[in-house]
């Protein structure tokens, strides 16, 4: 059992493993949307959307958590701003790319079948972009190393092992 902290699993296995697995699941769960036709039922798409949503949530948490690894307390606000700006710009660019792909694919499309084909192309692009993120996630930190055992100073007080002694 764990201690109930929100990032407990991420702390235990590391952001790299979580991000690689999550982005791979996002890519795989996006593929069923690329095969939608005008008569496709909703059960398979609902299941795929459920898996995709959970994986996308984990895929966003892992890189965001990795951004704070090894930072000193005073560096955390700067990292928060940088990660938030990167998230906003990345999301905007991604949506813009998919919107352009959909607009280009649906130009001259009339009727549900033609529009379904345009959305198929956009979802293939979405799956490809998620798959492209998988190798990039290998650059994230792996499993964290356990902290070294605490030392005691000659005075008997605990010494932080990350801090050099003078």
Distance CA 30, CA 27 (A): 5
Q: Judge if pTM exceeds 0.85.
A: no
C-beta separation of 31 from 125 below 8 A: no
Calpha distance 10→26 (Å, rounded): 18
Q: What percent of the chain has pLDDT over 90?
A: 36
pLDDT digit string (tens) for 143-157?
766 666 656 556 656
The number of helix segments (H) and strand segments (E) in the chain equals 5, 2
């Amino acid at each position: 059992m764990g201690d109930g902290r929100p990032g407990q699993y991420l702390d235990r296995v590391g952001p790299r493993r979580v991000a690689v697995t999550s982005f791979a699941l996002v890519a795989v769960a996006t593929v069923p949307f690329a095969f939608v036709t005008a008569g496709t039922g909703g059960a398979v798409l609902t299941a795929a959307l459920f898996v995709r949503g959970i994986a996308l949530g984990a895929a966003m948490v892992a890189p965001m958590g990795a951004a704070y690894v090894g930072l000193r307390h005073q560096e955390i606000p700067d990292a928060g701003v940088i990660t938030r700006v990167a998230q906003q710009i990345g999301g905007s660019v991604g949506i813009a790319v998919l919107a352009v792909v959909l607009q280009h694919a649906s130009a001259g499309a009339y009727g549900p079948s033609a529009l379904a084909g345009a959305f198929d192309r956009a979802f293939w692009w979405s799956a490809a972009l998620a798959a492209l993120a998988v190798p990039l996630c290998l650059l994230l930190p792996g499993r964290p190393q356990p902290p070294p055992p605490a030392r005691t100073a000659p005075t008997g007080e605990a010494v932080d092992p990350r801090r050099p002694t003078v």
